[in-house]
Structure 1
Amino acid sequence: MLAAERHSKILEQLKAEQSVTVSQLSLALDVSEVTIRKDLIKLENDGLLTRIHGGATITNFLPLERSFTEKLEERSEEKQAIAHQALSHIQPGDTVILGAGTTMMELAKLLRGLNDLTVVTNAVNIAMELNSQGKHHVILIGGEMRHKSFALVGSVAADNLRGLSVFKCFIGADGVHPENGLTTLNLAEAQINQVMMERARKVYVLADHSKFGETHLAKFAGLSDVDRIITDAAAQHLISKYAELGINLELASLQGVSR
């Protein structure tokens, strides 16, 4: 096994377990503990992990938040598939909350096929998309706009949300972790996500497979706080693990998604 392949597998295991031991890695990768120690030194020098006695732990760093436009083309087929699956949980006449984000925008586009929805959102771009459809009652909650995500946040947004009640909430997450729950890169958005969830009877999280195992700055919910997590088929191997935790993962098929 080449060093680069070993490094990738070490980081994958760290991402899943948060910490690993030298002996554990040596056994899993079928190489000597001396080789593993050299690998850990290299990865620590690259800023990808922190060595501890007998092993390593994941480096506690804050990744840079990318803009909505930068995220738009990433895993676009998976996001479209997830949005199509989420659409099956919305009926004409429903009252729903849509959070901010690229997957939520894909869902908003699909609402053109339904009639008479009441949609509450904190995302300016999603409100504009829904308004252009001319078929729904759209409530934009107000607040301070974040330029990276077009999300409205802050005390005004939170107070306005607390005066509303809806049946279903559809929300995204930057991280989905079995122990650390649902997290996002921005504290202000995490606070609004919490209020959105509080104001809904049912909560659906829309997250592609790359979000699983990730933990970011601000936690806004535990996994048990949501009714369903909708993801893409690449997360199929996680179904039994999350089922043991009482979490319902629903997989979206790429079949029929435009390429």
Structure 2
Amino acid sequence: MDLYEPASKPAEPHARILMLHGHGQSGQFFFHKTRFMQQVVGKTMIRWLQEFGDKESNSEAVDFFYPSAPLPANPDDPSKETSNLRAWGHGDPEQDQINGLENSLQFISKILEENGPFIGIVGFSTGAAVAALISSLLEKKESASGFRSSHAPLKFTICFSGFKLENPIYTPVYEPTLQTPILNVVGTLDTMIEPEKSFRLQECGENIELHQFEGTHYVPRSQDFLENLREFIWKSLTNVSDEEGAWEDC
């Protein structure tokens, strides 16, 4: 499976973020759905790099990496699908068991090793559930899932319409609770991933912030959300809140 990488991708970024799409989508699709976020996230990352790392960092120092999942969205008849309809796994939502998940975790492990290091991870829907799993697994290094990676734990994770896999077989993946900062973004009118399901993601970590918006199954674009996003990333990178007025010249 080819990876979707925007043409503007720098050769040697100083900060790279892994972007995981939802079910039946692709890296390219998610790129277009989240492109509006890149300016806010990018400026925050550049400021962090300039203050705590390379003072000459510019927009080319930050990269958003969009892979397409390794599985077809319709496993019963993949021949009728176009290649841009992909999935991280398949299963019964009522059982919270995802077939093919181990293959996807191995696929992402390879991405981390070959294209990292990554500063953070962003996921939508099923991609958000996988993002939380990856965040937890990178803290543990070894787990019952068979996931192995030498990659360092992430500095932040952002989950849009995410959820916790509640089947007991996944319990070891979430224990002990995550330390990685997570922004849990929940649409209160979401009918695809019910808000109550997304709220239970709060149980998985010690540093999970909740952002609710009055909307359905999508990535919000409001100024309120973008301000919370910027503040969350800054706090995750620096362990301090941003000072009032610090962004006036950005």
Report the TM-score range of the alignment, normalised by the length of the smaller protein: 0.3 to 0.5
Structure with more relative contact order (C-alpha pairs < 8 Å, separation 6 or more): 2
- Larger fraction in strand: 1
Q: Which has the larger radius of gyration?
A: 1
**Structure-1-length-normalised TM-score:** 0.35
